[in-house]
Amino acid sequence: MSTIDDILSVLENGTRRSILRQLLLDSTYPLEISRALGVSQQAINKHLEVLMKSDMISFSGSTSNNFGPPRKIYSPKGFSTIVIDYAPGFLEVNNYPLEDPGNVNNSSGEITMDNLIDVNRKLDSLMEERKKLVEEKNRIIKGLRNHVIQTVHDMLIR
């Protein structure tokens, strides 16, 4: 598993994020990614190498046709939620790995757009609550810091 610094370094690049978005739609090969993104195949291959080293994608097989050699197929992996708190009193970066749900079959119609809308609303609500908690944490840290500074100052004056 990659470190949080590795993941952030990989994700800071817009082309790599675009490649990941493309692979989330469908596992595919470099030429197809190149065409979809309008980026040279050589550049795509270099980015794929970085994504492989960071464990964010994997080689998942190959496909062949009558027009050329077999093509390597890449798939996304190593999913996670990354949370960065940058406040006046602290900076924290956390990575929470996510399970891969595997193949999801919706033949029974149980998964709907309403489900997605509901989950997104819940996530938005949680983020608002989280924001309030981060602000409270920041106030506490700043208060404790001021208390320690005042205590040390008082001890030095004595």
> Domain residue spans in the chain?
4-76, 110-158
| Amino acid residing at 135 | E
Rounded to an integer, the average pLDDT of 97-109 is 76
**At which residue do the structure tokens 């989280």 appear?**
130
d(CA 42, CA 31): 9
Please tell me the pTM assigned to this model.
Answer: 0.79
- Contact between 44 and 34 (Cβ < 8 Å): yes
The CATH number of the structural domain formed by 4-76 is 1.10.10.10
Q: How many C-beta neighbours within 10 Å does residue 10 have?
A: 19
User: 59-82: b or e for each residue (b if 16 or more CB lie within 10 Å)?
Assistant: eeeeeeeeeeeebebbebebeeee
- Contact between 93 and 49 (Cβ < 8 Å): no
Q: Is the dihedral of CA 137, 89, 80, 28 positive or negative?
A: positive
pLDDT given at position 158: 80
pLDDT digits (tens, 9 = 90+) for 37-83: 999 999 999 999 999 999 999 998 888 777 778 889 999 999 999 99
